[in-house]
Amino acid sequence: MDLFNKCRKYDYVQKIKEAGIYPYFHKLETRQGPEVVMEGKDIIMIGSNNYLGLTSHPDVVAAGIDALREFGSGCSGSRFLNGTLTTHVALEEELADFLGTESAVTFSTGFQSNLGIISAIAGRSDYIICDKENHASIYDAARLSFARMLRYRHSDMQDLEYQLSTVPDSAGILIVTDGVFSMGGDICKLPEIVKLAKKYGARVMVDDSHGLGVLGAKGKGTPEHFGLEKEVDIYMGTFSKSLASLGGYMAADKEVCEYVRHTSRPFIFSASITPASVACARAALKILRNEPERVKRLKDISTYMRKGLKEAGVPIMDSGEATPIIPIYTYTNIRTFTACQKLFEKGVYVNSTVSPAVPEGQSLLRTSYMATHTEEQMDRAIVKIREVLDEVKDITD
């Protein structure tokens, strides 16, 4: 049997391309922003995680340029050996100070952060308990850890308690949840999770990739949103969203961070974050600290869009929370691909999410917003979304 047979037989993508509705890998010709140019078209960008709109901020760009001049383009080694710069340490100290933890550790990507944290903290005799809608990196991290993984139904606290009750008293337990779920835009039930963790002697880790810069009066994320900053054992997040860069982090007690630094294979055996990326993240974090009004503006524009879509009769997934992620139901894969392409042609970029990423029959357009969007841009996008949904309503798979 030729290992590559599966590759040759994989024709689904080619069929979608031939139908003219392939929605992926569109080429940007400008910086990320509320409006961009993609493949020669002027596009309203409502498919980016650039929540605070900082990827083109002059201070962020200048910081990256200055770091290139000072430190060069890369580190040529892991943090464990020759790849630790003074700016890496400064970023970790600034993150810990912002989040109110004793220490922090940075990783080269957000995906790698989950791999590095979870695989180091949990071992063969431990249990990892996950919300079923957690990010894929959490599931891959659980596999890498060799711990036993249990899943509970999405935000179902009764099921979480049942899973906790099945764990032997001798085992360590790590409950891992997204803070803001990346597809639905809903917020985890952190108060109930913390309460159950205390009852069963578990530790709590929050993947706040979509929460930092989004939730809380100061943008500190899901724990701040609920007033539970001191009740979360491990904060995890990324720099590729609100902090306008690339990389990821954990923030926790000093002894936990020190343990991860010296035992995490993804951390030890990966090159460190490039100097420019570190500098951009530091600059973005500084702006977040100094301009918390950006967080409020993001909430306001998200609320405006959610209200506008509802009034236009657009079938959205509404969690009742003003997060910048608003999924629009399109239900079938082909309808979703077609709607995505038609919107692109009309000057609106959204992300298509289809099975198996979501359950069969629950395909959707994932839209997301920036603090730098305007109401006028949102009004134009709503009109185009309503038009396209009417055009594709009769399409089935």
Residue ranges in 100-218 assigned as alpha helix (H): 110-121, 136-145, 157-165, 190-200
Cα gap 214→322, rounded to integer Å? 9
The catalytic residue positions are: 182, 210, 241
Cα gap 84→217, rounded to integer Å? 33
DSSP annotation string for 227-294? T-TTT-SEEEEESSSTT-SS-EEEEE-HHHHHHHHHH-HHHHTSBPPPHHHHHHHHHHHHHHHH-THH
Q: Residue 100's CB: how many other CB atoms inside 10 A?
A: 13
Cα gap 190→179, rounded to integer Å? 8
| DSSP H or E run through 382 | helix 375-392
Tell me the C-alpha to C-alpha distance, in Å, between residue 183 and each of 195, 327, 379. Answer: 26, 7, 23
Task: Give the residue from 134, 280, 311 showing the smallest Cα distance to 210.
Answer: 134
Task: Give the residue from 349, 305, 370 showing the smallest Cα distance to 51.
Answer: 370
Pairing of strands 173-178, 325-331: unpaired
